[in-house]
């Protein structure tokens, strides 16, 4: 697994498409929100900006990059060759997705720390960490599921759009309108409960014990995504 991860990390810095989606887009969007935070906090809260940053990195830095990577490795038969080794299927996938996942976590930590320094720290840092970890787990599961129906890196530019734009849209909707109306619907949408968790973490006013139940809808999406991936994921190019 570690050997696969080291090889994959080297490939990330050689692949311009993955490099752009993993680093440039998330950092550029996050920098924009941080720079214009005064404008956005007029209609929402600091927790809204934190949630948008979280899902921007999660959608482009993690989700899209993993789908593109797995589609590319399948297309050039690298996945097929790896399966002929002693490494297990789980070990192969873990080695391939670990570098992108770690980089996304580092990005999120760095950006949110900077945001906390310039705009005020979260009311409950532990809750913010839980929101980030739950979001990363969900986006990772959704990436494996989407990779199962993605034939090529070029195809990934299409198959990843619904989820990428969807979770950011849900985060914006909840961050601006709150959860007073359509509460159950918002929590059940992908990213909805994690957004509320980040809002509670940053804005305060809600006890930690009263927010932990919000992890359930997020991890339910993880379970559904993994189930779908186990049925749809292919190790060889589709014919």
Residue 39 confidence (pLDDT) above 60: no
Apex 216 CA angle, 198 and 126, nearest 5 = 35
Confidence at residue 161, expressed as pLDDT on a 0 to 100 scale: 93
pTM: 0.89
**Number of C-beta neighbours around residue 159 at 10 A:** 20
Instruction: Please give, one letter per residue, the 3-state secondary structure of the chain.
Output: CHHHHHHHHHHHHHCHHHHHHHHHHHHHHHHHHHHCHHHHCCCCCHHHHHHHHHHHHHHHHHHHHHHHHHHHHHHCCHHHHHHCCCCCHHHHHHHHHHHHHHHHHHHHHHHHHHHHHHHCCCCCHHHHHHHHHHHHHHHHHHHHHHHCCCCCHHHHHHHCHHHHHHHHHHHHHHHHHCCCCCHHHHHHCCCHHHHHHHHHHHHCCCCHHHHHHHHHHHHHHHHHHHHHHHHHCCCCCCC
Counting residues of the chain whose pLDDT is more than 90, the rounded percentage is 38
**Closest listed residue to residue 96, CA positions, set 125, 66, 137:** 66
- Which of 1-5, 141-145, 229-233 has the least mean pLDDT? 1-5
- How confident is the prediction for the chain on average, in pLDDT? 85
Task: Give residue-wise pLDDT tens across range 166-211.
Answer: 999 999 999 888 888 898 999 999 999 999 999 998 887 777 777 8
d(C-alpha 63, C-alpha 49), whole Å: 20
Confidence at residue 37, expressed as pLDDT on a 0 to 100 scale: 60
Tokens of 114: 């900077």
Calculate mean pLDDT across residues 22-46.
Answer: 65
d(C-alpha 238, C-alpha 48), whole Å: 41
């Amino acid at each position: 697994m570690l050997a696969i991860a080291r090889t994959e990390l080297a490939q990330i810095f050689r692949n311009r498409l993955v490099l752009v989606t993993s680093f440039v887009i998330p950092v550029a969007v996050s920098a924009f929100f941080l720079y214009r935070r005064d404008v956005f906090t007029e209609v929402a809260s600091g927790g809204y900006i934190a949630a948008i940053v979280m899902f921007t990195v999660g959608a482009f830095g993690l989700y899209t990059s993993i789908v593109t990577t797995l589609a590319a490795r399948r297309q050039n038969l690298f996945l097929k060759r790896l399966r002929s080794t002693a490494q297990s299927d789980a070990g192969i996938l873990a080695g391939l997705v670990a570098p992108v996942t770690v980089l996304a976590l580092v990005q999120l930590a760095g950006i949110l720390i900077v945001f906390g320094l310039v705009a005020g720290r979260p009311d409950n840092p532990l809750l913010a960490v839980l929101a980030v970890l739950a979001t990363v787990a969900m986006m990772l599961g959704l990436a494996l599921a989407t990779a199962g129906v993605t034939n090529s890196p070029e195809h990934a530019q299409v198959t990843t759009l619904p989820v990428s734009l969807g979770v950011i849209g849900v985060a914006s909707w909840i961050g601006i309108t709150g959860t007073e109306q359509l509460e159950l619907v918002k929590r059940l949408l992908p990213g909805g409960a994690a957004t509320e968790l980040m809002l509670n973490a940053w804005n305060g006013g809600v006890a930690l014990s009263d927010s932990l139940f919000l992890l359930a809808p997020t991890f339910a999406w993880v379970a559904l995504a993994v189930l779908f991936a186990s049925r749809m994921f292919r190790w060889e190019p589709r014919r």
